[in-house]
Amino acid sequence: MSADNRPVFLDLTKYRFPMAAIMSVGHRASGIFMVMLVPFLAYLLDLSLSSSDGFAEVQAILDHWILKPIGFVALWALIHHLLSGIRFLLIDFHIGVERDTGRKSATVVTYAAPVVTLLIGVML
């Protein structure tokens, strides 16, 4: 037996993943990130509704410099998850199932989410 059954090292940096795979990973990552934010956001909501002092404290917390980039990433996560969710919903209705259309819609979602995030982030 000359067959070599040793495990093969796969260098993932040498592979070019399809845009749909990149968009799908972004969809999952954005969903996980938003779920992880729920306890913190629930705490802020509870604190803001407790009293006027609690509301002022929440404003002070949200004005902290470290939360600005986290809020920006959360905005991206929400927009990316929404756009890719709409794409997946359309695919469930057999719209955009063809290979070329699927690639184009994945590319649109992947590039539109940061652009829309920037536009909304600048307005805020």
* Chain mean position to CA 27: 5
Structure tokens that stand for 96 in this block: 């955009």
For 58, residues 6+ apart whose C-beta sits below 8 A from its C-beta are 44, 47, 48
Q: How far apart are CA 102 and CA 87, in angstroms?
A: 9
Asked if residue 81 belongs to a known ligand binding site, the reply is: yes
Task: Report the alpha-carbon distance of residue 34 to residue 37 in Å, rounded.
Answer: 5
Amino acid, single-letter form, for residue 44: L
Residues forming the annotated binding site for heme? Answer: 81
Residues forming the annotated binding site? Answer: 81
